[in-house]
Amino acid sequence: MQYKLIPALLLMFVSLFQGCATISPRGTGDLGVVIERAAGSLQVVETTGRTRLGQIDGLGDLSHASVNYSRDERYAYVFGRDGGLTKIDLLEMRIVKRVMQSGNSIGGAISQDGKLVAVANYTPGGVKVFDAATLELVADIPALDDNGKPSKVIGLVDAPGNRFVFSLFEAGEIWLADLRVPAKPALTKFKNVGKEPYDAMITADGRNYLAGLFGEDGLALLDLWDLKAGVTRVLNGYGKGEQKLPVYKMPHLEGWAATGTELLVPAVGRHEVLVVDQNGWKEVGRIAVHGQPVFVVARPDNRQVWVNFAFPNNDTVQVIDVPSRTVVKTLKPGKAVLHMEFTPRGEQVWVSVRDEDRVDIYDSETFMKVGELAADKPSGIFFTPRAHRIGL
């Protein structure tokens, strides 16, 4: 009986080996996702061939969704507006796990070592931190001021040393959370930083955290190398004494363009991009543009900056040449351009055109359209190399 089993077992192992040999392995460095906001789904795409690989449904409210990646670029963490945190396997194109961690969330970040995922919440406020492998809750940080009043959390970013930095909208505070002991977050709180911080970003070196202030002019700056200096005000007074335009959409600070020693920053409520010297944090120039800028995104070589705009000028993208600080190209992709993402080395840029149900792909040197993908009300586009950049 035992001898009769041997040929059958050999046949089974041969079949398994042959089956494995037919599977084509692939890397993840050219993968990404396109958010389909209305359908609650995302497309998995690859940039080399400019193709769609598959679609994943059941992700909830993606009206303000953002995405981070694991350090091996295999897993995407999707932060939904409904408070859902979803872990996606890009290679198997499936949901690994989904947790409803709040009533309303506004994005998240991954720790420097890749082991923690933090989520910023509007309702009930605060930050929740999860194990990146299991999505088990590790820490819960309520955002309460000295009187116990809750605040919406915005501008959550990762910082070196397994730390997270975020702002409290109502309280007007910036908090630094040290998660080197994940179950016991150590909090450093900076108070009276300004009225209603609405979004924030961290510079690519992980040193400077800047929060925009909705209720007043200027930006709040925290130097993470010199915490004793506290929060200082930069670009104070921008726009004062001038006629202000209605603000149709607040710009996203994480889309600020760092080009060497300068930042190109969307001017709130104005048809301008500001040029800021990072050495002294002073305004050194303004560039007139087509409308109120939302995203100001630098090509990886920093030679160009691409800008999209708020309604009613959201059918347009403009390209700024950084050395000359001039607009060198105006494109009209279609209604509701919501996001732009460069391929890893910047030879192409992908543009989501929500109301046209399409993603357009442009050559960043010639400005020629080189491809397009159909998508259901696309918004955010996120490529996997983000896994290796601070603040994204």
CATH of domain 101-249: 2.130.10.10
The pLDDT of 210-239, averaged and rounded, is 86
**Structure confidence by residue, pLDDT tens digits, 129-152:** 999 999 999 999 999 999 999 999
Whether a cis peptide bond, with omega within 30° of 0, leads into 293 is: no
The average confidence (pLDDT) of the chain is 89
Task: Evaluate if residue 358 carries a pLDDT over 50.
Answer: yes
- Give CB contacts under 8 A, 24+ apart, made by 41-44: 41/376, 42/76, 42/78, 42/88, 43/373, 43/375, 44/90, 44/93
Distance CA(316)–CA(314), nearest Å, equals 5
Instruction: Band the pLDDT of 392: cuts 50, 70, 90.
Output: confident
The pLDDT of 339-365, averaged and rounded, is 97
Output the pLDDT for position 270.
85
**Residue type at position 334:** G
More confident residue, 252 or 347: 347
More confident residue, 246 or 194: 194
Distance CA(123)–CA(83), nearest Å, equals 8
Nearest to 196 by CA among 152, 234, 233: 152
Output the pLDDT for position 230.
96
The residues spanned by each domain of the chain are 101-249
Task: Evaluate if residue 161 carries a pLDDT over 90.
Answer: yes
Question: Does the reported pTM lie above 0.95?
Answer: no
Distance CA(329)–CA(335), nearest Å, equals 18
Task: Evaluate if residue 286 carries a pLDDT over 90.
Answer: yes
Lowest mean pLDDT among 29-33, 45-49, 279-283: 279-283
